[in-house]
Amino acid sequence: MNRDRSILGIVTALEVERRWIGPTNEAVDIEVGGMGRIRAETAATRLLERGASALVSWGISGGLDPSLEPGTVMVPEAVVATGEGLLQTDSGWRKRLVAEIGNSIPTSMERMVHAEEVVRSRGLKRELRERWKAAAVDMESAGVGRVATDAGIPWLVVRAVGDTADHELPKVVTKVSDVRGRLRVSTVLGLVFRPRLWPKLIALGLANAAAGRSMRRVWALAGPDLAMSADNDDR
């Protein structure tokens, strides 16, 4: 692996999350890996093989803390990986990033928790919040964190809240796209004939739009290195 210069490797699950990233340079490498921990680990490993010296889990998350609004940017101190304990993110890097964006975008450094599948119900969100003392949940950050931790390199989570703790997601949400976020047209067309779901889907769409606006703003404020510096002695 090439370690002669710092290369920031960014893992996203979905192509739409990739589109939230603005202009980059030769020191940024991006992998759209697909949904789930295993795919995230595979994507992160590819980035390491291409010379990444730091990793970021970038995208959307589900809110567990009822006080978090859509668009709140999670830069957690750690991710709870069930059965493995806490995967700590880089402290100095995290604080620098929050200092860059915190006056312009609502942010939280509370911990997140890993889930194996989309957390749809308010009850399960509440259970995860109470059990793990986590503010948000996602399906990929634990995978990125494990690869970074094993490689001994700094890593960070930067994810905006989409669906909040109060959102109840219809089951069909898990079927409208494949693991890379590509829409299944037949499923989407079928929603036209299910008007009772429209209010929930509209609410989810608005929440995800807020998340996208926040993530674009993060990139604009922090720049292509996301406030990473060469000094990572405080991780």
CATH no. of 8-222: 3.40.50.1580
Q: Which residue has the tokens 């990739």?
A: 18
Q: For residue 218, what pLDDT is reported?
A: 98
Q: Which residues contact 201 (CB under 8 A, 6 or more apart)?
A: 170, 173, 191
Report yes or no: 108 and 136 within 8 Å, Cβ to Cβ: yes
pLDDT of residue 181: 56
Q: What would the pLDDT profile of 124-171 be if each residue is shown by its tens digit?
A: 999 999 999 999 999 999 999 999 999 999 999 999 999 999 988 766
Query: Cα separation of 203 and 225, whole Å?
Result: 32
Q: Where are the domains of the chain?
A: 8-222
Q: What is the largest CA-CA distance in the chain?
A: 57
Predicted pLDDT of residue 182: 58
pTM of the model: 0.87
- Give the bridge partners for 78, in sequence order: 88
Ranges of the chain with pLDDT below 70: 1-5, 170-201, 230-235
How does strand 73-74 pair with strand 78-81? unpaired
